[in-house]
Amino acid sequence: MSRIILRFILIFLLSLFIAQCGGISGGEPAPFIDDGLSSDFFIKELTFSSGTLRYPFNPDDWSNYLEVPYETDSITVKATPKDIWTKLYIGDKELIPGVDSEPISLDVGENIIKIRAVSESAEDLIYMIHVIRCSQNYSIASLSELAIDGIALNPAFEISGKNRDFFAVTDNERITLHATPTAQSEGASIDVKVNDDTVSSLSEISLNPGINTIAITSIAPDKKTKLIYTLTVIRQVDSSSSKLAYLKIAGGAFDKEFNPDETTYSINVTSTMNPVNLCAIAQARGANVSVKLNDELVSDTSSIRLSPGTLSAITIVVTKGSSSTTYKINAQSLQGSDNANLSSLKLMVGTKSFRPLYQGTFNRSVNYHNPDNTIFNKNITEYCSVIYGFDSVTATATAEDNTVKAIQFVVDGETIQSDLEGGIATSVIPLQPGLVKKLEIVVIAGDETTRKTYSVYIKLLNLDEFYWGVYAPSLDKSKEERWEPKPGAGGSKTVNGNVSGTMRWSITFSPTSTIVLTNYNDGKFGFKYNDGGFIAHGTQEAALDGVVSKNGYNVTKPGTVFYLKTAEGEEVAQIGYHIKVQGGDTVEGADSWVDFTYLGQKVRKPYKLSRPYPFSDSYDWYASWDDGF
């Protein structure tokens, strides 16, 4: 039973007793005794940095659920109480009303966040939020296995492959299918239909003579994401027939639907379909199928190359015994496009943060870039980009014409594996701290002759370059007006400073002080390669030398980590402060320092009166700069 309920019960019993006794004196009603302290312990607003509450927040609902994706490994809470005197806590850490909490780490599965609200009268209420961090495979609907016992699939199934359509030929009346979802152990499932009829067992699936269509719908654990795999299984039978059961050119459509009794077809073959992948399957078991291109025998029907811009005749002869049937395909090979332009080029770090491209190079004597120009132009072929916090980037190149034959990624002369689909190619480019990697993107047009190469020079900043050149020291450029006048003993103040979005400074009688920085945006003072600034949240505590002077050392509060993140919220560094708080031209005293963690390396950066920013007019981008500390 909460203290507030107990309080109301006692007041009610007291009132009842007084009423029965006729009041305190002369029949006068008993006065209501109010200690003047608010007992309102409800939260008015509650939000989270990721996810959506299962039920809209209601102050009277003390339990709720929140689902976040696997990529979210931490979350912040922002809460505002109804009463300004109510204190909010997560564990032993107090929440400042309307301000994001420190990041709360999340494990995969259920995490419980308890928010304790304590009223001015010391009565409390606990709001319990069940945060479900989805597994890595929560929205994965792919199959890890797809096979038919004793029968080969064409093309062969690959776990990481993008193909969803397969063919198979058999003379069996029944087959056993194996289809296993990648995330089966986490709740993924499949739905299988054979010739539009749902089957409950994958063993002994009955096949009709001729074409059978098996549709496998793979359903991810989230029950929303789905992928459909299609198997076209041709069952051949003992017959004297010399006709085809199936005829198709991959990626295209004939001028009319295939019919075994129709022997002539036409098709337009685009540059992406050339060479042609022809599938021709006879009705009868043991029938012979031969293919010719312009009267020349074809040995590999999966790769029949047609001359661009010409009309070719593909003939298929089916022979069974003394009977034969000839099918003819008039294939018009369309001239491939000579367009090798890119319509866009993007560099992504992490899972969602994009870095700008600057037209030009890092070479000061040849086409040096302008850091204010971040516009991609298909006619400009040289770009550069400044990367920090991640040792690789994902490059995505989109062709202006989606019929391009290939988009190749070459890093310092070495070809990197890439994927191309619908004119869009992606590749992961490895980087090395402090050095510039040259990425060449070679676009091969649909005519297979025209080529165009885009060059991107990618610089991954090392620790010193990142700290001094883009991030810069913690409170650099914060002058004394940022801190003065200091709050009096036992007082506090909230200011919007030159660097941080909000600072709340509270001084107790101990003497200690607490400084909370929220929406801490650093790096907006001429550091052009830090687009959008960095965001950090956290708390500092100062051990002061006296209540009156309030000078001392402001250090990162024990248990607090300042996470330096991109504008999209991905961590690139961690910082811990040890900064002298006193008057003068700057806040930082000569013996101040910052602990800095970046790319797996942790160093202590000292305060420097003269900032060694590397990005001067003579800075050598191709060298790995070192500040000497």
- Written in H, E and C, the secondary structure of 563-591 is EEECCCCCEEEEEEEEEEECCCCECCCCC
Sequence-ordered strand ranges (E) for 294-368: 296-297, 311-320, 323-333, 342-349, 353-355, 358-359
* Region for 268 from its dihedrals, namely left if φ exceeds 0, alpha if ψ lies in -120 to 50, beta otherwise: beta
Q: Average per-residue pLDDT in the chain?
A: 83
pLDDT of residue 512: 60
**Cis? peptide before 56, omega within 30° of 0:** no
pLDDT of residue 526: 64
How many Å apart are CA 613 and CA 243, to the nearest integer?
78
How many Å apart are CA 357 and CA 382, to the nearest integer?
10
Which residues lie below 8 Å from residue 463, measured CB to CB, with a gap of 6+? 433, 596, 598, 599, 601, 603
Nearest to 405 by CA among 452, 455, 336: 336
Nearest to 126 by CA among 56, 178, 70, 79: 79
Structure tokens at 587: 């806040």
Nearest to 129 by CA among 13, 51, 215: 51
**Residue burial 148-173, b: 16+ Cβ < 10 Å; e: rest:** beebeeeeebeeeeeeeebbbbbeee
DSSP 8-state assignment for residue 481: G
pTM beyond 0.75: the answer is no
Q: Is residue 49 helix, strand or coil? A: coil
DSSP 8-state assignment for residue 209: S
Q: Is residue 365 helix, strand or coil? A: coil
pLDDT of residue 606: 83
How many Å apart are CA 184 and CA 218, to the nearest integer?
10
Structure tokens at 437: 């990697």
How many Å apart are CA 376 and CA 186, to the nearest integer?
42
Nearest to 399 by CA among 457, 437, 446: 446
How many Å apart are CA 541 and CA 137, to the nearest integer?
41
CB 389 within 8 A of CB 574: no
**Residue burial 384-413, b: 16+ Cβ < 10 Å; e: rest:** bbbbbbbeebbbbbbbbbbbbbebbbbbee
Task: Please list the ranges in the chain whose pLDDT falls under 50.
Answer: 1-35, 476-482, 497-501, 547-549, 583-586
Residue 408's φ and ψ, nearest 5 degrees, are -105, 140
DSSP 8-state assignment for residue 466: I
Which residues lie below 8 Å from residue 559, measured CB to CB, with a gap of 6+? 93
Dihedral sign computed on CA atoms, order 37, 41, 45, 49: positive
Structure tokens at 229: 């795999």
pLDDT of residue 483: 52
How many Å apart are CA 475 and CA 562, to the nearest integer?
14
How many Å apart are CA 474 and CA 562, to the nearest integer?
11
CB 558 within 8 A of CB 526: no
How many Å apart are CA 543 and CA 553, to the nearest integer?
6
Q: Is residue 210 helix, strand or coil? A: strand
pLDDT of residue 571: 87
Nearest to 479 by CA among 593, 585, 590: 585
Amino acid at 537: H
DSSP 8-state assignment for residue 208: -
Structure tokens at 261: 């009794």
pLDDT of residue 362: 95
**Residue burial 38-75, b: 16+ Cβ < 10 Å; e: rest:** ebbbbbeebebbbbebeeebebeeeebebbbbeebebb
pLDDT of residue 511: 53
How many Å apart are CA 33 and CA 580, to the nearest integer?
50
Amino acid at 550: K
